Amino acid sequence: MTLTAMEFLRRFVQHILPRGFVRLRQSGFLANTCRVARVARARTVLTTPSPSAPATTDTPPARATRACPRCGAAMIVGPILSALHLATVTGSFDSS
């Protein structure tokens, strides 16, 4: 990707913290406090077998509904897709 000098500087400056702010590196997905457990969980989720091919029917599958904990409105819960399933459906991800 080619950027102009002004666009590069604009994007670079967005990563500079103001004086007095501290970058929090000890929080997040791979924080030291829970890294081992989360990496193990990610590995088990990623190694689950891919779901079988869905049956082609004319009617959509019934969806479970739950109440939103914040506003109480009905939430429609869709299928939970694993990374392996997404990779087989889409082929490959292009981040460009």
Average pLDDT over residues 66-92: 75
CA dihedral 49, 50, 55, 60 (to 10 degrees): 110
Q: Quote the pTM value.
A: 0.27
How would you label 20-42 residue by residue, b for 16+ Cβ within 10 Å and e otherwise?
eeeeeeeeeeeeeeeeeeeeeee
Q: Express each pLDDT in 8-63 by its tens digit.
A: 999 898 888 888 887 776 667 677 777 888 888 888 888 866 566 555 555 555 55
